[in-house]
Structure 1
Amino acid sequence: MAPSKFKKPPQTPPLFVHTPDSLVKDTERFIEESKNLQDQIVRDVKPGSVEFKNVLLPFAQDDNKMSLESHIIGFYQAVSTDAKLRDASTEAEKKMDDFAIESSMREDIFKLVDETFKKQKNDESLDAESRRLLEKDHKGYIRMGLGIPAGPDRDRFKAIKKRLSELSITFQKNLNEESGGLWFTPQELDGVPQDVLSGLKQGEKGTENEGKLFLTFKYPDLFPTQKYCKNAEVRHKVFIASENKCNDNIELFKEAIVLRDEAARLLGYPDHATFRIEDKMAKTPKTVNDFLGDLRKRLAPGGLKEIEELKKLKKSETGKADNYFLWDHRFYDTLMLERDYQLDQQKIAEYFPLSTSIEGMLNIFEHLFGLVFVKLEGEDRDAISESKRGEDIVWHPDVQVFSVWDDEGEGNGFVGYLYLDLHPRDGKYGHAANFNLQPGFINENGTRRYPATALVCNFSKPTPKKPSLLKHDEVVTLFHELGHGIHDLVSKTIYSRFHGTSTVRDFVEAPSQMLENWCWTPSQLKSLSKHWSYLTPEYTQAWKEASKEGESQPPETMPEELINSIVNTRHINDALFNLRQLHFGIFDMTVHTPSSHSAVESLDASSTYNRLRHEISKIDGPEALGEGYDWGHGQATFGHLIGGYDAGYYGYLSSQVYSADMFYSVFRKDPMDGKEGRRYRHTVLERGGSRDEMGILTEFLGREPKAEAFYRELGLSE
């Protein structure tokens, strides 16, 4: 039961009771309402009488209202078990995107916005967030082609934008619904943890797969196999097959990069990257390429040195090591950590049951940011549901819901709703991500609308004999995504446009990356840990049945030697990890900065992807066996580059500059300093994208950000 003072939130949670028909009808309804508003403003507001309050404000308030439905309608395609509902969600999202494109290319509206911008861009009577909205909206119309003279070129630009929307939606749908895998005998999967094997589908009797196990390409199956399977041929086969899943996306990716380049040139930009980066913190592709090039130069010697050490380990195991392959890396990296640094990932995972890890993380956020998380179950769900049916406030029975509140020091006010959807399902989004379900904003009557946010992850499911257990890297992933969720929850903006993580792409990862540091701090690791055998009497009994005779029950919290093994290995093979990130970032910039349009048309994206991977990471792929570079199509599984990180993947690396600076300057001395945590909440997280991100950082740090901490952390200081 929820504590009495937190029983009744002032806002009911959204209901997830849509049908395929209702999704499409609801979408058509609010699109029609929005179009009628646009037509009314064009009809009623005459040139010379334009003001922010009669042009931009009604549109912003309409965006606020639409977002309460549109985000959820588009969300179903990532989480629903009903294929028809997913398809309807996809169809609805296409309708929404088409309408957004039509709206942002209406010249009659742009004329009103342009006049308002010229009249009020420096108007001090407008609050800072409204001036930012005016500036962003005005620039948005120009970037949507209204600087192109009316005629064939503008029509072509509009057609490109619509096709790019279709490509993005279809590409992600293919990834979500990917269901491939390979059959192996248990002997072939020797070394893969039993927890993984026990969850695999078994071949039916009387079929060719009788006695075999079906290994999918989902992360909970794929990564443990790459890390622990002793059979190199199996790892090789799984790696290549995974790189060739979703091959329908190969042509979609190629078409997208060609169309992006054409659209950028129609707008007068030399390439797509110049267009995309102009409004980000980096401003120019040169700044990005200089950063990536400098980092590559600094990391390359360390990467080669790490490969040589890993080759020695491979040779000690196999007797030969002429090559160090991509399908070798996770296995020997894991083996090195276990053998040379006593990092026992299986033993560590026993101390990170998913349920207690979440509880521990939420406790950290409560202390740092002045929050209270109240889990809603049973009659508490019924009580706050508008339908009085608690099952209506979730989209799947596995989903957990929390009402989130300010603590007493922050005023006991309501903050919003947090949802956790943590286990894999057919048709579900296959990675880990935070999705905004409903943004926060100021209602027209001056009251606050509270946000709802969801974490969608793919951690292994619990069994009667053992709970879901997290490897340490999964703990980091969960903490990172929760960081995005907290950003989404505590944001307080006037307009939904700037809510939460709606910042520029090369800043958005910084807050979550900074919070990852808590997963490498001994005191926090201790507080997060609890051995699974202490969770319930049933699990205690299961542990006893599985343990050796006379074996003592492990300590309830993680012992110091295990904690030290985690902390001491943070930067082992770090150069190779960051070179992998550089490969993604440099590939992204390469395909989005072609020397000419014909160059991108003739570009072989698959060969480019694999060639760059070899050149940057120095780890061998099948090309080292004489197979050339066209052996896999990793870009066809690279959802980031189709889903919003195009010419922006560098942000994962560049934002680490900001995250390292914030942590080392403010939190390293005392990561649980609640005073600084609240200052961070109010100065950085609360503002979302409502202010210039560099200005926010500078205010928080008391100076402009520096790269010293980032390079020092990587051991690359000059």
Structure 2
Amino acid sequence: MAPERYRTPPQAPPKFIATPSSLVEDTKRLIDRARNVQNEIARNVSSADASFSKVNLQMAHDDNKMSIESHIISFYQAVSTSQELRDASTEAEKLLDDWGIEASMREDMFKLVDATLQKNEPLDPESRRLLEKEHKDYIRNGLNLPVGTKRDRFKEIKKRLSEISIIFQKNLNEEKGGLWLTRDELAGVPQDVLGNLEQGLGENEGKLRLTFKYPDLFPALKYAKSAATRQKIFVENENKVNQNVPLFREAIILRDEAARLLGYNNHAEFKIEDKMSKTPKTVDDFLGDLRTRLTPGGAREIEALLALKKAEMESNGNAASFDGRYYLWDHRYYDRLMLERDYSLDQEKIAEYFPLGPTIGGMLRIFEELFGLVFIEITGEDRDRISETGQGSDITWHEDVKLFSVWDDEGEGSGFVGYLYLDLFPREGKYGHAANFNLQPGYVDESGDRRYPATALVCNFSKPTAKKPSLLKHDEVVTLFHELGHGIHDLVSRTTYSRFHGTNVVRDFVEAPSQMLENWCWTPSQLRSLSQHYSYISSSYKEAYDEATNRANQPPEHIPDDLIENLIKTKHVNDALFNLRQLHFGIFDMTVHEQLSHQAAEDMEISLLYNKMRHDISKLEGPEVFNGGDWSWGNGQATFGHLIGGYDAGYYGYLSSQVYSMDMFYSVFKDDPMNKAEGRRYRHTVLERGGSQEEMRTLEDFLGRKPSSEAFYKELGLTS
């Protein structure tokens, strides 16, 4: 039970009691209210009378209230176990998107916002930013286009792009593909993974079904000894949602057309204008320079990995099969073997020290110490007590979900911060990657009171068994810490308007705060504090461990120094190939969105481009080797939700924001990662600001200077 002072948060958590019909009905109610607010403004306010308080503030208050419900309405499609609820959530999101397009293209409201901007009334900085952003949004949504055919076509494109985005992500969430494989084909894959696979009946008797969900896919590609098996899994995974192929192509073409209607040369120019990079040339130059710097290192890494492949095949009696090539399905396997052979890195052994529950506890303690927070898990009768319905089951969407109330510690004033949800295991129909979802933003309401946020981490880690808890590989520890970083950004943000809350910043900065925090997962003291060998969690786990290993002595409770040292040595092993993979995504994204003409966009053979660019950038080979140079063997872009879900002409942000993240870490935290004073300064200077001011100003406020790329290139070993 939580301490008394934490048992009564000043705001109840959100409810998850929707039905398929209520989701749609509530959405229509929200849209009707928003439309009425804007109609009322348009009726009662003239351009001569227009002001921020009469126009923008009224819309902002309604946006705030709408977001409290609309985010959750859309969230059901990512997490609900009910197909009907997921379908209704998808339908509701389409209604919300259609309303957003309608509202963004209202001529009457644009004229009032324009009149307000022209008056240049004195406003606080965040309100000024809101006014300017909203004014520009109307222009970017076609209201500078003449009324008639062009504007109607632009609106038609916006609606279709919204439909494509929703269907594309739904196809990914609902993906149920897999392969029936024999145990011989899966030789080498850890028993922990095999034990969780569906066992075949009838024609599949004796086989196991490997899905394309991460807890199945990645271990199979890392451990399956059979290259034929790995190839089959890799190629099938690249083709798991081929119904998205025409949707992706249509989106690219429509984006290009819309950008040209607005007077831009291409979609990339349109999208990047509002980001920190400002122009496609800045992005192209950055990606091109990084490619030039990384390519020699990638070639050296492939050479070393090829030597390892040859030696391994010779030791297995397969020397005659070695063809001197390094394939896409080779990489996870031989990367792991290299780490084990050259760095004595046993990922399975390391994972024993990172059981999910204790690791999360360790992460939360780091955030508590660094940022002045307190996390209180809400369980049992406390859930019933704080639920508005009196039913604790109503405040989560699934029984596996953990819920925390988050508070400031005494040094930060002991106030309430918000709610954190953790949904950590895969299930049918659930979002398939790892992400942070804002459920309810924070803001200041009409009466001047603060509304507190709720945020959710949705991940897909392996489920616990009777003999083992869920054990995290180190890269999963990094992923979890990264996504928790987004969650903390969401929680501690203190903006006036929901539009600027938390991670609502430009795409080429949004990853920087979480990327910076990843460094804590490579720091010896923090790794030790995150760790606890799973045999210490319970007597039953200890018995199972002893039985499985025939161990006479229990291993140390926390990860030993030699394992930490070996792990840290591997931080940049095959790093050039990892970053070349990211460059493939980033350069492909820019290429498809930066065509010289609309005809060129229509003529693109996108799957061929995706596969050929991956080879040209990373030098990893694929089935084209066996198919006479046919590059149409896979459709990886159709599995890539980022480029349809908001990172279009923006995926480069994962790389460019590392420049900012490394600059912040090296300049402030590298020598003392747990410096409380700097942690709190980071919280107040960067995280609390959200998108309420220019992101470059936020960065410069924290660094005390303009950002530099020196630390980024130094970390990658690319300094001259």
TM-score range, shorter chain: over 0.9
Aligned partner of 1:553 in structure 2 is 554
- 1:31 and 2:26 correspond: no
- 1:228 and 2:217 correspond: no
Aligned partner of 1:69 in structure 2 is 69
Q: 5 Å matches for 1:228-627?
A: 228-318=223-313, 319=319, 320-548=322-550, 550-625=551-626, 626-627=628-629
Q: Per-residue deviation at 1:624?
A: 2.3
- Residues in 1 aligned to 2:116 and 2:102: alpha-carbon distance in whole angstroms: 21
What is the DSSP-based 3-state SS (H/G/I as helix, E as strand, rest coil) of the residue aligned with 1:53? coil
- 5+ residue gaps, structure 2, are 314-318
1:667-709 superposed Cα distances (whole Å, 9 cap, x missing partner): 0010000110000000000000000000010010000000000
2:586 maps to a residue whose letter is G
1:52 maps to a residue whose letter is F
CA RMSD of aligned residues (A): 0.6
Aligned partner of 1:81 in structure 2 is 81
Query: For 1:170, which of 167, 170, 173 is the aligned residue?
Result: 167
- Residues in 1 aligned to 2:31 and 2:698: alpha-carbon distance in whole angstroms: 35
- Residues in 1 aligned to 2:522 and 2:323: alpha-carbon distance in whole angstroms: 33
Q: Per-residue deviation at 1:661?
A: 0.1
Aligned partner of 1:185 in structure 2 is 182
- Residues in 2 aligned to 1:209 and 1:553: alpha-carbon distance in whole angstroms: 40
Q: Per-residue deviation at 1:628?
A: 1.3
- Residues in 1 aligned to 2:205 and 2:476: alpha-carbon distance in whole angstroms: 33
What is the DSSP-based 3-state SS (H/G/I as helix, E as strand, rest coil) of the residue aligned with 2:204? coil
- Residues in 2 aligned to 1:322 and 1:78: alpha-carbon distance in whole angstroms: 43
Q: Per-residue deviation at 1:321?
A: 4.4
- Residues in 1 aligned to 2:580 and 2:129: alpha-carbon distance in whole angstroms: 37
User: 1:210–1:627: structure 2 CA closer, same or farther, 3 Å change rule?
Assistant: farther
1:327 maps to a residue whose letter is W
Aligned partner of 1:106 in structure 2 is 106
What is the DSSP-based 3-state SS (H/G/I as helix, E as strand, rest coil) of the residue aligned with 1:323? coil
1:351-374 superposed Cα distances (whole Å, 9 cap, x missing partner): 000000000000000000000000
1:4-46 superposed Cα distances (whole Å, 9 cap, x missing partner): 1111000000000000000000000110011011111000001
Kept in 2, the 8 Å contact 1:226–1:327? The answer is yes
Aligned partner of 2:193 in structure 1 is 196
Aligned partner of 1:91 in structure 2 is 91
- Residues in 2 aligned to 1:361 and 1:367: alpha-carbon distance in whole angstroms: 10
- 1:685 and 2:687 correspond: yes
1:617-672 superposed Cα distances (whole Å, 9 cap, x missing partner): 01111122224110100000010000000000000000000000000000001000
Aligned partner of 1:711 in structure 2 is 713
Same amino acid, percent of matched pairs: 70
What is the DSSP-based 3-state SS (H/G/I as helix, E as strand, rest coil) of the residue aligned with 1:403? strand
1:170-225 superposed Cα distances (whole Å, 9 cap, x missing partner): 00000000000000111211111111100000012xx1101110000011000000
- Residues in 1 aligned to 2:191 and 2:592: alpha-carbon distance in whole angstroms: 42
Q: Per-residue deviation at 1:541?
A: 1.3
**Given the two structures, how large is their TM-score scaled by the length of structure 1?**
0.99
- Residues in 2 aligned to 1:113 and 1:321: alpha-carbon distance in whole angstroms: 66
Kept in 2, the 8 Å contact 1:312–1:321? The answer is no
Q: 5 Å matches for 1:116-155?
A: 116-120=116-120, 123=121, 125-155=122-152
Kept in 2, the 8 Å contact 1:610–1:632? The answer is yes
Q: Per-residue deviation at 1:544?
A: 1.6
- Range with greater deviation from structure 2 (223-232 or 624-633): 624-633
Q: Per-residue deviation at 1:551?
A: 3.3
1:570-606 superposed Cα distances (whole Å, 9 cap, x missing partner): 0000000000000000000000001100001010110
What is the DSSP-based 3-state SS (H/G/I as helix, E as strand, rest coil) of the residue aligned with 1:347? helix
- Residues in 2 aligned to 1:539 and 1:547: alpha-carbon distance in whole angstroms: 12
- 5+ residue gaps, structure 1, are none
Moved over 2 A (4+): 624-627
- Residues in 2 aligned to 1:565 and 1:29: alpha-carbon distance in whole angstroms: 57
Kept in 2, the 8 Å contact 1:273–1:647? The answer is yes
What is the DSSP-based 3-state SS (H/G/I as helix, E as strand, rest coil) of the residue aligned with 2:572? coil
2:573 maps to a residue whose letter is I
What is the DSSP-based 3-state SS (H/G/I as helix, E as strand, rest coil) of the residue aligned with 2:693? coil
Kept in 2, the 8 Å contact 1:500–1:689? The answer is yes
Aligned length: 712
1:76-123 superposed Cα distances (whole Å, 9 cap, x missing partner): 000000000000000000000000000000001100000101112xx4
Q: Per-residue deviation at 1:47?
A: 2.0
- Residues in 2 aligned to 1:708 and 1:286: alpha-carbon distance in whole angstroms: 21
What is the DSSP-based 3-state SS (H/G/I as helix, E as strand, rest coil) of the residue aligned with 2:242? coil
Q: Per-residue deviation at 1:547?
A: 1.8
1:39-67 superposed Cα distances (whole Å, 9 cap, x missing partner): 11000001211100000000000000000
1:593 maps to a residue whose letter is E
- Residues in 2 aligned to 1:417 and 1:147: alpha-carbon distance in whole angstroms: 41
Kept in 2, the 8 Å contact 1:311–1:321? The answer is no
- Residues in 2 aligned to 1:595 and 1:446: alpha-carbon distance in whole angstroms: 50
Aligned partner of 2:316 in structure 1 is none
Q: 5 Å matches for 1:596-675?
A: 596-625=597-626, 626-675=628-677
1:282 maps to a residue whose letter is S
Kept in 2, the 8 Å contact 1:606–1:633? The answer is yes
What is the DSSP-based 3-state SS (H/G/I as helix, E as strand, rest coil) of the residue aligned with 1:276? helix
